[in-house]
Amino acid sequence: MQAMQAKPPRIDACTRCGACCRAGGPALHREDRQLIVAGHIHTRDLYTIRRGEMAYDQIRGVAQPTRADIIKIKGQGRSWTCRLFDAAAGACRIYAERPLECRLLECWNTDRLARAYARGRLTRRDVIGEIQGVWAVVEEHQRRCDHRRVLKLLAPGPDGRAERRRRELAAMVRYDEELRARVLARIGLEAEMLDFLFGRPLRRTLPGLKAAPAPGGAPAGV
């Protein structure tokens, strides 16, 4: 007689198994701003996917350039596991104060999350727009290191302009690196906060390794 296959148990309530926390941290929404203000989430634990940067839309299942900032909680080391997940305890460190997406996610039915996913996302302006001096630097960086411009520079174009595009891209990467170093030296911020202020370093986010500029020089393979 064949052994009967046991059906997996049907889930219709959160068992706090941590599977969703291990799949990656949430993007923050405007109502999560208070969690930063109250100190439940520190900006060192966040990174910004800047306007124009490629990002994977989990609901639509496509990678596309973002229309505005997406602020996310970082992973742990090189893993996707949300940085606020305590692996030893198997629990969220801020469970009672967890962000909107974590409260809406029901792994057995993602409808509630899907409806809120792209709405009312938190931006850097919402968090630091009123901090004199800092916001102006962030805006200037956004203007000079605009990912939309980066994508244009990386796109195939007339050969005669390749050298000019390489030089412009190299200058952007240099500016991005120098600004981060300057901010660290002058303001004395934690280095980990830079990923929130200026997004991840341009050298790391340039689409495709081949297109990344060589250190201190012109970008290769453009």
75 is written with which tokens?
């992973």
140 is written with which tokens?
């200037």
Sole binder of ligand SF4 in the list 48, 70, 72, 99 (CB under 6 A) = 99
Give the residue with the Cβ less far from ligand SF4, 85 or 198.
85
Q: Are 31 and 56 in contact (CB under 8 A)?
A: no
* Angstrom distance (rounded) from CA 163 to CA 161: 6
Segment interacting with ligand SF4 (CB under 6 A) among 6-14, 78-86, 147-155, 171-179: 78-86
Sole binder of ligand SF4 in the list 36, 49, 73, 206 (CB under 6 A) = 73
Contact between 117 and ligand SF4 per CB under 6 A: no
Radius of gyration of the chain (CA): 20
Give the residue with the Cβ less far from ligand SF4, 196 or 198.
196
Sole binder of ligand SF4 in the list 47, 85, 117, 198 (CB under 6 A) = 85
Give the residue with the Cβ less far from ligand SF4, 23 or 54.
23
Contact between 98 and ligand SF4 per CB under 6 A: yes
Contact between 102 and ligand SF4 per CB under 6 A: yes
Segment interacting with ligand SF4 (CB under 6 A) among 59-67, 93-101, 137-145, 150-158: 93-101
Give the residue with the Cβ less far from ligand SF4, 102 or 206.
102
Give the residue with the Cβ less far from ligand SF4, 84 or 183.
84
The runs of H, that is alpha helices, within the chain are 19-22, 33-37, 100-104, 111-116, 124-128, 134-144, 147-154, 162-187, 194-197, 202-205
Give the residue with the Cβ less far from ligand SF4, 49 or 145.
49
Q: Which residues contact 173 (CB under 8 A, 6 or more apart)?
A: 202, 203, 206, 213, 219
In the chain the first and final C-alpha atoms are separated, in Å, by 65
Query: Residues in contact with ligand SF4, total (CB under 6 A)?
Result: 12
Helix (H, G, I), strand (E, B) or coil at 186: helix
* Angstrom distance (rounded) from CA 182 to CA 11: 51
**Beta-bridge mates of residue 63:** 56
Contact between 25 and ligand SF4 per CB under 6 A: yes
Contact between 26 and ligand SF4 per CB under 6 A: yes
Contact between 113 and ligand SF4 per CB under 6 A: no
- The label of the residue with tokens 């340039």 reads 206
Residues in touch with ligand SF4 (CB under 6 A): 21, 25-26, 73, 82, 84-85, 92, 94, 98-99, 102
